[in-house]
Protein backbone atom coordinates (compact mmCIF):
# COMPACT_ATOMS: atom_id res chain seq x y z
CA UNK A 1 0.00 0.00 0.00
CA UNK A 2 1.06 3.57 -0.58
CA UNK A 3 0.04 6.94 0.81
CA UNK A 4 -2.07 7.47 3.90
CA UNK A 5 -4.75 4.96 4.82
CA UNK A 6 -7.57 5.62 7.28
CA UNK A 7 -10.01 3.14 8.76
CA UNK A 8 -12.91 2.89 9.06
CA UNK A 9 -14.25 5.04 6.23
CA UNK A 10 -17.59 5.47 7.98
CA UNK A 11 -18.50 5.16 11.65
CA UNK A 12 -21.79 5.59 13.48
CA UNK A 13 -21.58 5.57 17.25
CA UNK A 14 -23.75 6.32 20.23
CA UNK A 15 -22.80 8.95 22.77
CA UNK A 16 -21.82 6.30 25.32
CA UNK A 17 -19.67 4.22 22.97
CA UNK A 18 -15.90 4.00 22.77
CA UNK A 19 -14.30 3.67 19.37
CA UNK A 20 -10.95 4.33 17.71
CA UNK A 21 -9.95 5.78 14.36
CA UNK A 22 -6.80 4.44 12.75
CA UNK A 23 -4.35 6.08 10.38
CA UNK A 24 -1.32 4.49 8.73
CA UNK A 25 1.20 6.18 6.42
CA UNK A 26 3.53 4.35 4.05
CA UNK A 27 5.55 7.39 2.98
CA UNK A 28 8.36 7.34 5.55
CA UNK A 29 7.20 10.67 6.94
CA UNK A 30 8.11 11.82 10.45
CA UNK A 31 5.07 13.94 11.34
CA UNK A 32 1.38 13.09 11.53
CA UNK A 33 -1.76 15.16 12.13
CA UNK A 34 -5.44 14.87 12.94
CA UNK A 35 -7.84 17.39 11.42
CA UNK A 36 -11.60 17.79 11.85
CA UNK A 37 -13.66 18.96 8.89
CA UNK A 38 -17.21 20.13 9.56
CA UNK A 39 -19.59 21.42 6.91
CA UNK A 40 -18.75 24.92 5.68
CA UNK A 41 -15.95 25.35 8.22
CA UNK A 42 -12.17 25.32 7.74
CA UNK A 43 -10.21 22.19 8.48
CA UNK A 44 -9.49 22.41 12.19
CA UNK A 45 -6.11 21.17 13.35
CA UNK A 46 -6.60 18.91 16.38
CA UNK A 47 -3.28 17.23 17.11
CA UNK A 48 0.27 17.32 15.77
CA UNK A 49 2.82 14.58 16.29
CA UNK A 50 6.40 15.23 15.25
CA UNK A 51 8.93 12.40 15.63
CA UNK A 52 6.25 10.49 17.59
CA UNK A 53 5.97 13.26 20.17
CA UNK A 54 2.82 15.29 20.54
CA UNK A 55 3.73 18.92 19.93
CA UNK A 56 0.28 20.45 19.74
CA UNK A 57 -3.08 19.78 21.30
CA UNK A 58 -5.23 22.50 19.84
CA UNK A 59 -7.69 22.93 22.72
CA UNK A 60 -9.40 19.68 21.85
CA UNK A 61 -11.85 18.24 24.44
CA UNK A 62 -10.55 15.30 26.44
CA UNK A 63 -13.16 12.99 24.90
CA UNK A 64 -10.70 12.86 21.97
CA UNK A 65 -7.48 11.07 22.87
CA UNK A 66 -4.66 10.62 20.32
CA UNK A 67 -2.02 7.94 20.32
CA UNK A 68 1.08 7.67 18.14
CA UNK A 69 2.88 4.38 18.87
CA UNK A 70 5.40 4.85 16.03
CA UNK A 71 6.04 7.16 13.10
CA UNK A 72 3.77 5.17 10.77
CA UNK A 73 0.66 4.86 12.91
CA UNK A 74 -1.72 7.32 14.51
CA UNK A 75 -4.91 6.64 16.41
CA UNK A 76 -7.75 8.82 17.67
CA UNK A 77 -9.61 7.25 20.59
CA UNK A 78 -13.17 8.47 21.04
CA UNK A 79 -15.41 8.24 24.09
CA UNK A 80 -18.64 9.87 25.27
CA UNK A 81 -18.87 12.03 22.15
CA UNK A 82 -21.55 14.62 21.44
CA UNK A 83 -23.67 14.98 18.30
CA UNK A 84 -21.72 18.13 17.36
CA UNK A 85 -18.63 15.94 17.04
CA UNK A 86 -20.10 14.45 13.87
CA UNK A 87 -17.69 15.41 11.09
CA UNK A 88 -15.07 14.13 8.67
CA UNK A 89 -11.85 13.30 10.52
CA UNK A 90 -8.77 13.54 8.33
CA UNK A 91 -5.31 12.23 9.02
CA UNK A 92 -2.27 13.67 7.27
CA UNK A 93 1.47 13.10 7.25
CA UNK A 94 4.51 15.11 6.19
CA UNK A 95 8.29 15.11 6.30
CA UNK A 96 9.29 17.83 8.73
CA UNK A 97 12.60 19.41 7.83
CA UNK A 98 12.21 18.76 4.11
CA UNK A 99 12.34 21.80 1.86
CA UNK A 100 8.93 20.99 0.48
CA UNK A 101 6.70 20.48 3.45
CA UNK A 102 3.44 19.34 1.91
CA UNK A 103 0.86 17.25 3.66
CA UNK A 104 -0.51 14.01 2.28
CA UNK A 105 -4.04 13.33 3.46
CA UNK A 106 -5.94 10.13 4.00
CA UNK A 107 -9.49 9.76 2.68
CA UNK A 108 -10.93 10.42 6.12
CA UNK A 109 -13.40 8.80 8.48
CA UNK A 110 -16.97 10.10 8.29
CA UNK A 111 -18.16 10.03 11.90
CA UNK A 112 -21.80 10.29 12.91
CA UNK A 113 -22.66 10.52 16.61
CA UNK A 114 -26.25 9.57 17.43
Partner 1 sequence: GQNIDQPTEMTATEGAIVQINCTYQTSGFNGLFWYQQHAGEAPTFLSYNVLDGLEEKGRFSSFLSRSKGYSYLLLKELQMKDSASYLCAVRDQAGGYNKLIFGAGTRLAVHP
Please give the residue ranges that form the binding site for partner 1 (CB under 8 A).
Answer: 4, 33, 35, 40-43, 45, 48, 50, 55-56, 90, 92, 94, 96, 100-108, 110
Q: Phi and psi at residue 83, in whole multiples of 5°?
A: -55, -30
Return the exposure string of 28-42: e unless at least 16 CB atoms fall within 10 Å of the residue's CB, then b: ebbbbbbbbeeeeee
> Which residue, 45 or 79, has its beta carbon nearer to partner 1?
45
What minimum distance in Å lies between the beta carbon of 65 and partner 1?
20
> Which residue, 15 or 55, has its beta carbon nearer to partner 1?
55
What minimum distance in Å lies between the beta carbon of 61 and partner 1?
20
- Find, among 93, 45, 99, 87, the residue nearest to 72 by Cα: 93
> Which residue, 33 or 64, has its beta carbon nearer to partner 1?
33
Over its C-alpha atoms, the chain yields an Rg (Å, rounded) of 13
Measured CA to CA, the distance from residue 52 to residue 8 in angstroms comes to: 22
What minimum distance in Å lies between the beta carbon of 55 and partner 1?
5
Strand duo 64-70 + 104-105: pairing: unpaired
What minimum distance in Å lies between the beta carbon of 18 and partner 1?
26
> Which residue, 64 or 89, has its beta carbon nearer to partner 1?
89
Amino acid sequence: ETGVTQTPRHLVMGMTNKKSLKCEQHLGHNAMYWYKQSAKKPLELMFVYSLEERVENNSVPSRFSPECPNSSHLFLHLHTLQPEDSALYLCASSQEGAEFYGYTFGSGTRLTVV
